[in-house]
Amino acid sequence: MLIEIDFNSPEAIYIQLRNQIVMEIAQDRLKDGDSLPSVRNMAHILGVNMHTVNKAYAILREEGYLKLDRRKGAIVSVEKSSKQAELEKINGCMQMIVAQAICKEVTKEEMKQIVGEMYDAFRML
């Protein structure tokens, strides 16, 4: 697992960590049952505060990507919720992306191409 934090990014560090862990799962670099470093170890590895890692792990748990166990630590465990619930979440996230694309005159066809290429890239990894 390769996590890189950009300390100059306007994006919060805990969000960067959360997003990169989700990407690792999507790219099949992290699989169900894999252990993540403890909060303390991850904070040490990344050079960040333990509370930052704890917040990222808590969000991942709430979103159904991790299970937290006092004895075993953070374990990758992707919950499969109903497809309808997932589609509703995706719709909520995509609305702003589509709005931004429209404002910047990105066409529907260009958006379809971008999404298609992303799917293909993940499948090839």
- Token duo for residue 40: 């303390």
Q: What is the DSSP string of 1-16?
A: ------TTSSS-HHHH
Structure confidence by residue, pLDDT tens digits, 45-67: 999 999 999 999 999 999 999 99
Helix (H) or strand (E) run with residue 18 in it: helix 13-26
Number of CB atoms found within 10 A of residue 125's CB: 8
Find out whether 29 and 38 touch, Cβ atoms under 8 Å.
Answer: no
In this structure, of 26-40, 67-81, 94-108, the range with the lowest mean pLDDT score is 67-81
Structure confidence by residue, pLDDT tens digits, 57-98: 999 999 999 999 888 889 999 988 778 888 998 999 999 999
